[in-house]
Amino acid sequence: MKSCFSFLPYVLWEKITYESNRYARKKMKDGKISGKPWRKDITVMEMLQFHGLLIKMVLQPVPGRRFTYYWANESTYPWTSTMSLTRFYQIRSVLHFNNDEEEQLKRDPLHKVRPVYASVQKIIGHYVELGSEWSLDEASAACRSSFGRHLIVYNPTKNCGKFHFRFYLLCCADTYSCIKLRIHVKTDDMVEADAFSSGLPPAENSNEDDLGQSTSVLNQLIIDMTSPLHGTGHTVNFNNYYASPSAAIELLKRKVYCRGTLRLNRKLLPKYVQFTKADARQPNARGSSKVAVNRKYGLVAAGWLDGNPVHVISSADTEGISTVQRQVGGKKVTVTAPEVIQYYNAGMDGVDRHDQYRSLLSLCSRHKFKKYSVKLYLALLDLSITNALLHYKLRWQGAKTNVRGADFMEYIAMLLLSEQASS
């Protein structure tokens, strides 16, 4: 429970309770909410119990049925006796996180969840010592609300759904803990705190003409997302959406190393290392490689033939050749590859593994809400609970390393439903 409340502090629950009560008074008609009399304001204890019920519904799903099914079968689901169905329905309908001020909504796309988002951003990087290998990647949470179109991205290849929120995450490659996140905002009219800029003064010895993309929005996003690592000499791994020679140079000026796969249209990529798909179809082509070194900036660029051409860049590795294991024709074979490929494979899965933990028992994917702000809130809740679980595993490493995510959430739900949570 301490792990959970470390990332979701009690003052945040008080804020959610206060805003929900204020919204209830605004929404109330003839003293009724959802067609039933509103007898009293929500207490913090009731808000915690409400979230405990949401978690229990994730742990004991009833596919194809509404949540009212749980109360209709109270003998099977005794935890529903904690709160009446009417009260649960009312809290569900008035759940709110910030004051709906029209001017703020126009100026800040994330205003509806700003207190929760700010709290998670502030706390999520605490309680863990920084490792040396990190991964930067995207995560997503499905939502189809047209009212959240300024936050929702369309991508038909995503498993969670074609329409979804996009999160940028920086996660440890060893423990999978997330230390920084940002929500993608699909509008130019963003508040300063959500613009993709680092807020840092220009790096020393900056040469804009040499870098080409140094001032691009994407590079500014990378610099901002890696800000906890500035000056540490740690390494961040990312895919070809982020990686470019200009981004590697900008990170080096902030004493952060990087490695990542490359797209062939990136500026400053040497043509010498580039392979084509025709090269990959040649007999015995697998394992062929080309390496180039930029001694001015200390960068290594490499091309490698696997099933398809792979191009990588690194400021953290040498031009050495190593070996990797590949699945070819149903058998594992050892293939020669540049050293950077071996280290990239080991360091890139931090966000993916964090996403696995989050998606197994997700409040956002399990519960349906019409309001996009509630779906976004549940996605942030999932991120916080996942980090709490990973930190709990680290804290009790050896003694309780094998604790399952379901057991962890079951224990949290049990405490939220009891009267111990408020104390």
Please name which of 204, 184, 206 lies closest in space to residue 194, comparing C-alpha atoms: 184
CA separation for the pair 404, 400 (Å, rounded): 9
- pLDDT, mean of residues 330-353: 90
Please, what is the end-to-end C-alpha distance for the chain in angstroms? 11
Q: How far is it, in rounded angstroms, from Cα 221 to Cα 164?
A: 20
C-alpha–C-alpha distance, residues 380 and 39, integer Å: 31
Q: Are 311 and 302 in contact (CB under 8 A)?
A: yes
Residue type, 83: M
Residue 377 has pLDDT above 90, yes or no: yes
User: Could you give phi then psi for residue 378, rounded to 5 degrees?
Assistant: -65, -35
For 241, how many CA atoms within 13 A lie in the half-sphere containing its CB?
8
pLDDT band at 223 (very low <50, low <70, confident <90, very high): very high
- Flag whether the pTM goes above 0.85: yes
- Which pLDDT tens digit goes with each residue over 4-19? 778 888 899 999 999 9
227 has a pLDDT exceeding 60: yes
Does the structure show a pLDDT above 90 at 96? yes
Give which of 334, 177, 189, 200 is closest to 255, Cα–Cα.
200
- Mean pLDDT on 320-341: 88
Asked whether residue 218 carries a pLDDT value surpassing 50, the answer given is: yes
Question: Cβ of 74: how many Cβ atoms within 10 Å?
Answer: 12
Q: How far apart are CA 41 and CA 36, in angstroms?
A: 14
Residue 157 banded pLDDT, cuts 50, 70, 90: confident
| pLDDT at 422 > cutoff 70 | no
Measured between alpha carbons, how far is 95 from 56 in angstroms, rounded to an integer?
Answer: 18
For residue 211, pLDDT over 50 is answered with: no
Higher confidence at residue 219 or residue 396? Answer: 219
For residue 213, what pLDDT is reported? 39
**For the residues 120-146, what does the mean pLDDT come to?**
87
- Cα(39)–Cα(85) distance, integer angstroms: 14
Which position has the higher pLDDT, 207 or 169? 169
pLDDT for res 397: 66
How far apart are the C-alpha atoms of 412 and 385, rounded to whole Å? 10
